[in-house]
Structure 1
Amino acid sequence: MSLILPPLSLYIHIPWCIRKCPYCDFNSHQANDDIPEQDYVNALRFDLQQDAELAQGRKLASIFFGGGTPSIFSANAIAQIIKDAENIIGFEPDIEITLEANPGTFEQEKFSGFRAAGVNRLSIGIQSFNDVQLKLLGRVHGREEALRAVDVARKAGFDNINLDLMHGLPEQSVEDAKADLAQAIALAPEHISWYQLTIEQNTAFYSDPPILPFEDTLADIQDEGQSMLAQAGYEQYEISAYAKNKQRARHNINYWEFGDYLGIGAGAHGKITQPEKSLITRLWKTRLPKHYLDSVTSNKISTNLAGHQNVFGAGSDILSPSSLPLDFLMNVLRLNDGAPVKYLAERTGLDLGSLDPQWNELTQRGLVEVFEGKLRTTALGRRFLNRVLEAYAGG
């Protein structure tokens, strides 16, 4: 079956933050007093203009400002970027526009400006409400600033808020983790992202690792936390995502359902389907902010493996038929409900038989299933998702 164009999203990377956290492995850089805000906005516009042909007539279903700390930018800058995206690509009528924000950057006027600019979903990086844990994580905010951030967001008009919360933190007990969740639930956000701290390479924690809770403690935190969230009306729909009243993160769901997305900004990644070429391409932009900004005037055009040109391009990779099963499953199997079987053919060109013999073996072990027309893991499979995916890691 030939490929069918899936929905299209846009990821926008703002690479600066107030201070680099010791657990962060994202492309983020500590800001000084003279962030080149307008130059970066202009570069993002140029970047998107060059990638516009990859939209192939589609409008944007969602936009996500990630970082770094996107809320470090002014409301006027965010408004310019949103307007450029609308003019260059265009929006679906019900577009979701999410902005990541950290409590240390909250000002009432600025966040009212974000809302007026078109941002309709806010993702607040709380991580913990415990001052001791926040200090160990290197966060620039404390408990009171975290609580105030949610209040400011509500007063600014946001009625779709995600709280980003971690567990398994240094020196954290089960009761500490439950207290964090209880506080988050009490603030009544529409969405909670609750995930375990992991130590990644190229971070300060990797070089000087903190003492983390034992495995038994981590398991107790997971079990008791999930029970608390369920009792409070938060439905788990993905490994670390919980929503009230079905207010799920549509941008992230597009990733997990193997949709397409453009990525603009320093180090941003994209995934694009080109049915007429029978190609699915991943592409990424130059990583360092200075190099990204210098690319505007360098006139060094980069051509990716699919033939697309962009002066900001740093690399690309065409997904091969042998790598597609893992690439597809490592996304869709994150979702509790999985994804429609038809997406396998429409978005990869593969059929269900191409997942065998691994899928058949995993089914017999009670780890995966086809349920109501969807590929998904069982409850047991979700607990051991890494083992499920390892079956396809050989490519």
Structure 2
Amino acid sequence: MFKLPPISLYIHIPWCLKKCGYCDFYSYVSKSAIPEKKYIEHLLKDLEKDLSLINERKINTIFIGGGTPSLLKNSSIENLLKEIKKRTNISNKTEITIESNPTTLEYKRFLNYKKSGINRFSIGIQTFNSDLLKKIERTYNKEEAILAIEEISKINKNFNLDIMYGLPNQSLNDVLLDLKYAVKHNPTHISWYQLTIEPNTLFYVKKLNLPNENMIFKMLIQGDKFLKKSGYKKYEISSYSKINYECQHNLNYWNFGDYIGIGCSAHGKITQKNGDIIRTVKNKNLNDFINGKYLKYKNIILKKERPFEYFMNTFRLYKPVLKKQFQERTNIDPIYIKEKIKKAIEKGYIKDKIDFWNTTNKGKIFLNSLLKIFLD
């Protein structure tokens, strides 16, 4: 039976001090004063337009990402959240996350951000190796990274550390040392993922001495083993958490929940009462956005596209994929994908049970091959 899924709010803040060579997220390098007040004014107007699509559903989580949202003044974040609370149905227990980098400018603002209502912080460490930080063009060093973590651990128990592996000239020992530093500071969550070089990034045309596939596999196996031994549960392909500290915002994405996306280049997915699923993409151009041109395009996700989109998210999770949830979130009877499920079983990617599907170890390793089966 079809029913409306939970809904989250994503807010994109597009400014950065420097564009990292591997980053393919939409961002502006800030060379002058950021027009914070005007941008927030238009974020709220963008939100108001999308609220008409959500049928007065409660906002379950908020994620402020970028770019580097922690470049914004304390007063800007406080005002943004205060105005969002006036316009939406959220509770005091709503998970509200902000992304930040470990630079002095940013971590000095952590306490005031918490006073504004933020209750989860995500810090982009990437590595504790100062030489490797230079190679991936980050703007801080190991000492600053550690200071930022020490600062956040005094202020807020619930925080995530972003760590990468597969960096230029990185050794297996470097990877394990990074994870040891991370675990030592007792974060509630660690996002640990491989550096990938996308075509629209600066690093794509740069010669990088990246570890080979065999070394990447060793890093993955030994790093995964270390994190689990250290008390972190792997609940998604690149996410590890202490018990009851999974990122609720990301879990909503991975369970094919709905989300409003506001701000330059933000994406949204909003299910309607009639079963239609609307995809929204916001304008990338900052000048256009702050002149009121928010929406780049809006379309309906076709029935033939929904199984792929659903599994692209849910197969990332280390848990059974419920057939009942598939029908609730896609408005499609599982019979519709019977032949594709059969093919995935024959390939050894999934197992079919009465009430759910389970990805095998092979299915997780060859996730892209598994997902291709569901492409129309």
TM-score, normalising length from structure 1? 0.92
Q: Identify which of 303, 319, 324 aligns with 2:301.
A: 319
Aligned to 1:290: 287
Q: CA deviation at 1:365?
A: 3.2
State the distance in 2 between where 1:41 and 1:105 align.
24
Q: How does 1:47-62 map to 2 (within 5 A)?
A: 47-62=46-61
Aligned to 1:300: none
SS in 1 for 2:304: coil
Aligned to 1:381: 363
State the distance in 2 between where 1:338 and 1:112 align.
39
> Does the CA-based 8 Å contact 1:71-1:105 persist in structure 2?
no
Q: CA deviation at 1:53?
A: 1.1
Is the aligned partner of 1:196 residue 2:194?
yes
Q: How does 1:128-147 map to 2 (within 5 A)?
A: 128-147=127-146
Which string of whole-angstrom CA distances, capped at 9 and with x for unpartnered residues, describes residues 59-85 of structure 1? 110000010001000121111111121
Q: CA deviation at 1:282?
A: 0.7
Aligned residues: 376
Q: How does 1:75-114 map to 2 (within 5 A)?
A: 75-106=74-105, 109-114=108-113
Q: Structure 2: any 5+ residue segments left out of the alignment? A: none
State the distance in 1 between where 2:67 and 2:318 align.
29
> Does the CA-based 8 Å contact 1:82-1:118 persist in structure 2?
yes
Q: CA deviation at 1:50?
A: 1.4
> Does the CA-based 8 Å contact 2:343-2:373 persist in structure 1?
no
Shift of the 105–15 alpha-carbon distance from structure 1 to 2, 3 Å rule, reads: farther
- Given residue 57 of structure 2, which amino acid in structure 1 is its aligned partner? R
Aligned to 2:237: 239
Shift of the 105–322 alpha-carbon distance from structure 1 to 2, 3 Å rule, reads: farther
Q: CA deviation at 1:371?
A: 5.3
Aligned to 2:204: 206
**Bigger CA drift: 99-108 or 81-90?**
99-108
- Given residue 194 of structure 2, which amino acid in structure 1 is its aligned partner? Q
TM-score, normalising length from structure 2? 0.97
Aligned to 1:331: 313
Identity of aligned residues (%): 40
State the distance in 2 between where 1:345 and 1:357 align.
16
Shift of the 184–61 alpha-carbon distance from structure 1 to 2, 3 Å rule, reads: same
State the distance in 1 between where 2:337 and 2:218 align.
34
State the distance in 2 between where 1:97 and 1:372 align.
37
SS in 2 for 1:103: coil
State the distance in 2 between where 1:97 and 1:273 align.
22
Shift of the 90–325 alpha-carbon distance from structure 1 to 2, 3 Å rule, reads: same
Q: How does 1:114-125 map to 2 (within 5 A)?
A: 114-125=113-124
Q: CA deviation at 1:92?
A: 3.7
State the distance in 1 between where 2:220 and 2:21 align.
23
SS in 1 for 2:37: helix
Which string of whole-angstrom CA distances, capped at 9 and with x for unpartnered residues, describes residues 197-223 of structure 1? 001011110121412101100000000
Aligned to 2:262: 264
> Does the CA-based 8 Å contact 2:70-2:106 persist in structure 1?
no
State the distance in 2 between where 1:327 and 1:338 align.
17
Q: CA deviation at 1:390?
A: 1.2
Q: Identify which of 341, 344, 347 aligns with 2:323.
A: 341
State the distance in 1 between where 2:65 and 2:47 align.
16
> Does the CA-based 8 Å contact 2:64-2:97 persist in structure 1?
yes
Shift of the 92–351 alpha-carbon distance from structure 1 to 2, 3 Å rule, reads: farther
State the distance in 1 between where 2:312 and 2:320 align.
11
> Does the CA-based 8 Å contact 1:161-1:190 persist in structure 2?
yes
Q: Structure 1: any 5+ residue segments left out of the alignment? A: 296-310
> Does the CA-based 8 Å contact 1:368-1:375 persist in structure 2?
yes
State the distance in 1 between where 2:260 and 2:78 align.
19
- Given residue 369 of structure 2, which amino acid in structure 1 is its aligned partner? R
SS in 2 for 1:91: coil
Is the aligned partner of 1:281 residue 2:268?
no
- Given residue 24 of structure 1, which amino acid in structure 2 is its aligned partner? C
Q: Identify which of 229, 237, 248 aligns with 2:246.
A: 248
SS in 2 for 1:66: strand
> Does the CA-based 8 Å contact 1:263-1:270 persist in structure 2?
yes
> Does the CA-based 8 Å contact 1:333-1:375 persist in structure 2?
no
Shift of the 313–105 alpha-carbon distance from structure 1 to 2, 3 Å rule, reads: farther
State the distance in 2 between where 1:255 and 1:105 align.
31
- Given residue 163 of structure 1, which amino acid in structure 2 is its aligned partner? L
Which string of whole-angstrom CA distances, capped at 9 and with x for unpartnered residues, describes residues 241-280 of structure 1? 000123100000000101000010011110000023x310
Aligned to 1:362: 344
SS in 1 for 2:80: helix
State the distance in 1 between where 2:37 and 2:50 align.
20
SS in 2 for 1:294: coil
